[in-house]
Chains A and B, each alone.
Chain A
Amino acid sequence: MIVRRLLIANRGEIAVRVIRTCRRLGIETVLAVSDTDAGSVPAALADRTVRIGPAGAAQSYLNVDAVVAAALATRADAIHPGYGFLSENPRLAQACEAAGIVFVGPGSEVLEAAGDKLAARGHAVAAGLPVLPGGLVDPADAEGVRALAGRIGYPVLVKAVGGGGGRGLRVVGDPGQLGDAMAMASAEADAAFGDPRVYLERYVTAARHVEVQLLGDGRNVIHLGDRDCSVQRRYQKVVEEAPAPLLGETLRVSMRAAAVALGQHLKYQGAGTVELLVDQGSEEFYFLEVNARIQVEHPVTEMITGVDLVAEQIAIAEGRGLRLSQAGVRFSGHAIEVRINAEDPAAGFRPSPGTVTGAVFSAGPGIRVDTHLQAGSAVPPQYDSLLAKLIVTGADRAGALVRLRGALARCRIEGVATNLGLLAAVADDEEFATGGVDTGYLERWLAPRSEEAGWPGGEPLLVRDEKIGDTRG
């Protein structure tokens, strides 16, 4: 099956990204747009657009029926779901299958296995991956909960089975807090995800987030190296790089092998990522989750491997099999990506929708900008705050970092508040320059500066995660 016309069920920079590859491959693009996005840059770049509903994502980008109907009406032979929205929704994969449309992604069984955190954990164990000690508990069984927490050791992490994107997490420091924390976490999980199940896991105090990029065709699975995404704020990645810096070679090799083993166990088809947690103290790694889609941070992998991951996704979806062998994947240089968001760090990271009145980015060798913005573009309040990704590449990490500092200094976005200043400050920070920071780094870095500047901390904000199937809005 050759894909000739591809419907993109997404928006923003990833829509532009997919259109780029399609244009190079000679594939006609149909962009599904909400009313708000009809005048967007991706809409202008696509060969055609098709309206799928109003601005609210529940009626448009999260609407399986509308997306499939749009693909049928425009005679698209494939759907690329991008990331977020319906990308990991088994119902879209099933609906595509039923309608004879190629879904650019894994089959619904893999999406189901990856989407349920406990099921994914079970598959990881079956594939021989280390998982953090823990397990499902009944919040009503106080004895059982206390016994398990005791065996795990404090602090323990209470996690919602249906959670994701940092939602439904709670750290418990001692047995006295356990009962209350369990009850609240379960109630919260029920409220947020319609699933009150919670499980306990050992909490790793100083951990790095390292992930491995996979490509599989259902028979063979290869890896395209690792990425470090430890620079996070409220579980949202801010800076990503490849390869992960200051990782022992033995550890790196075993993490990559573990990810491939899990991919093989799942008979993985498409591009996917195995997220792992690295305990900085013990240098052990543990399985976190599988992301069964293209990821926001995929460009850093592309920059050091020269592989167009979207093109490989499409080739695999066409049934052409893996075109790369493990030995054929060569790594060269170091790449760093920063996410430029419409948010105001000086005002508690308040989101900043509006209209971009000016957008100037850096350009030059080793600089890549993935964006959907230009002067005049709307930044609607209905969607996420990602404005652009700046990706720099250098011969080594130090070279990439120098390039990053210069490239950030030349970016100017007007009309909406951005985190450009924060990104520049992180790029200049000594600890980040050393490399190998843990996931608490950015919040620690922000804390004294927020106080000093008198930045309002703001209340903890919940972040919507489409993966959990919250259909609100």
Chain B
Amino acid sequence: MDLTNEDVADILALLDSLPYDELDLQTTRFRLTLRRTRDGWTQSAQVLAGAGGTGAGGAGAGGAGAGGAGAGGAGAGGAGAGGAGAGGAGAGGAGAGEVGEAAGLVAVRAPLPGTFYRAPRPGAEPFVEVGSRVGPDTVVGIVETMKLMNSVYSGADGTVAEICLANAEFAAQGVALMRIRPGP
């Protein structure tokens, strides 16, 4: 990661003539593993420096990049995961959903983790409000995941009983976005 592609190519040119199948290069800042396979070389890298700016608030506060703390080191990967709230599982949401279902309501869940929108565009009328009549194919919202806008369908016949998330709020996968009271 910290070496350029040219650096890696230079190292490999050296290794090619040597009887080694693996090189594990580690500095205080990074670790690079090069492996010879039947078909050619592979690389995997790990930047070891503590994440710059973690926990820093506001402009101007960034941390030094070269903080070489041992954390994040050799193996199994928790390093640099940061990203609280990213790609989270929807466990909490599912639990909340069960309460709703106990009351005879059907939850409309986020098909993917992403940002929930109640309207087709900023400033536009929401797709539905509490009390709106919906059919299974009624679009009740949008979840934006990785820049893709996914329509969310009601999935049930009935009326909107509850809208659980505010517009532009983050929705974990499977979380209840709204609840539908089934019926005519």
Which residues B19-63 have CB closer than 8 A to chain A? 34, 37, 39-47, 49-63
Could you count the A-B residue pairs with CB atoms below 8 Å apart for me: how many are there? 247
The answer to whether A375 touches B46 (Cβ under 8 A) is: yes
A369–B162 Cα gap in the complex (Å)? 48
Q: Does A50 contact B (CB under 8 A)?
A: yes
B contact residues around A72 at 8 Å (CB)? 59
1/0 per residue, CB under 8 A from B, across A367-384: the answer is 111000011111111111
Say which residue of B4, B44, B113, B151 sits within 8 Å of A374 (CB atoms): B44
Closest to A72 in B: B59
Q: A30-B62, A39-B81, A363-B12 are in contact. Are A45 and B1 (CB under 8 A)?
A: yes
Which chain B residues border A30 with CB–CB below 8 Å?
62
B103 at the binding interface (Cβ < 8 Å): no
Shortest Cβ gap from B110 to chain A (Å)? 10
Q: Which residues of A contact B183 (CB under 8 A)?
A: none
In the complex, which residues 417-462 of chain A have their Cβ closer than 8 Å to any Cβ of chain B? 459, 461-462
**In the complex the two chains form, is A464's CB within 8 Å of B83's CB?**
no
**In the complex, what residues of B have CB within 8 A of residue A470's CB?**
121
| A472 engages B144 (CB within 8 Å) | yes
* A365 near B12: Cβ-Cβ < 8 Å: yes
A362 touches B (CB below 8 Å): yes
Q: Mark A392-426, 1 if CB is under 8 A from B, else 0.
A: 00000000000000110110100000000000000
Does A473 belong to the interface (CB within 8 Å)? yes
Flag whether B79 is at the interface (Cβ < 8 A).
yes
Q: Counting CB contacts under 8 A, is A123 at the interface? A: no
Most chain A beta-carbon contacts within 10 A, residue among B47, B64, B76, B147: B147
Q: Which of B58, B81, B112 contacts A51 (CB 8 A)?
A: B58
**Contact of A311 with B by CB under 8 A:** no
Distance of A102 from chain B, by nearest CB (Å): 18
Contact pattern, A 38-60, Cβ under 8 Å of B = 1, otherwise 0? 11110111111111100110000
Cβ–Cβ < 8 Å partners of A33 in chain B:
53
Bound CA–CA A378/B78 (angstroms):
10
A362 touching B44 by the CB < 8 A rule? no
Q: Are B120 and A45 in contact (CB under 8 A)?
A: no
Whether the pair B168, A52 counts as a contact (CB closer than 8 A) is: no
Residues 140-165 of chain A, each 1 if its beta carbon lies under 8 Å from chain B, else 0 = 00000000000000000000000000
Q: Are B83 and A376 in touch, CB under 8 angstroms?
A: no
Report the minimum CB–CB distance from A389 to chain B (whole Å).
11
Q: Return chain A residues, CB-CB under 8 Å to B45.
A: 374
Contact B39 A406 (CB under 8 A): yes
Q: State whether A382 touches B115 (Cβ < 8 A).
A: yes
Chain A interface mostly: mixed
Which of the listed residues B50, B86, B121, B146 has the most CB atoms from chain A within 10 Å of its own CB? B146
Q: Which residues of B contact A374 (CB under 8 A)?
A: 1, 44-47, 79-80
Asked if A74 is an interface residue, CB under 8 A from chain B, the answer is: yes
Indicate which residue in B1, B53, B117 contacts A41 across the interface (CB closer than 8 Å).
B1
Minimal Cβ-Cβ distance residue in A for B53: A49
A125 to B101, CA, bound (A): 61
Pairwise interchain contact B42-A362, C-beta atoms closer than 8 A: yes
Q: A382-B86, A472-B117 are in contact. Are A368 and B12 (CB under 8 A)?
A: no
Q: How far is the CA of A131 from the CA of B86 in the complex (A)?
A: 44
- A35 B84 Cβ-Cβ under 8 A: yes
Are B85 and A472 in touch, CB under 8 angstroms? no
Determine how close the nearest CB of chain B comes to the CB of A13; give it in whole angstroms: 11
In the complex the two chains form, is B64's CB within 8 Å of A381's CB?
A: no
Q: Are A376 and B77 in contact (CB under 8 A)?
A: yes
Q: For A464, what are the chain B residues with a Cβ–Cβ distance below 8 Å?
A: 144, 147-149
- Contact with B121, one of A55, A192, A383, A459 (Cβ below 8 angstroms): A192
Q: How far is the CA of A55 from the CA of B2 in the complex (A)?
A: 25
The chain A residue with its CB closest to the CB of B83 is A378
What sequence of 0s and 1s flags, for each residue 130-170 of chain B, a beta carbon within 8 Å of any chain A beta carbon?
00000000000000111111110000000000000000101
A contacts, CB < 8 Å to B: 16, 20, 24, 30-31, 33, 35-41, 43-52, 55-56, 66, 69-70, 72-74, 191-192, 194, 342-343, 350-351, 353-355, 357-365, 367-369, 374-385, 406-407, 409-410, 412, 459, 461-464, 470-473
CB-based closest 10 A-B pairs:
A39-B82, A49-B53, A378-B83, A73-B60, A73-B59, A376-B77, A363-B43, A380-B86, A351-B146, A375-B77
13 residue pairs A–B, Cβ–Cβ below 8 Å:
A37-B82, A38-B56, A40-B51, A56-B170, A363-B12, A367-B9, A374-B46, A374-B79, A375-B44, A382-B115, A384-B146, A406-B39, A464-B147
With A44-B50, A463-B148, A470-B121 already in contact, 16 other A-B pairs whose C-beta atoms are closer than 8 Å: A36-B85, A38-B82, A40-B83, A49-B63, A55-B86, A66-B59, A351-B146, A355-B81, A374-B1, A376-B46, A380-B86, A381-B86, A381-B112, A382-B114, A463-B147, A473-B115
| Chain B residues within CB distance 8 Å of chain A | 1-2, 4-5, 8-9, 12-13, 34, 37, 39-47, 49-66, 72, 76-87, 112-115, 117, 120-122, 124, 144-151, 168, 170
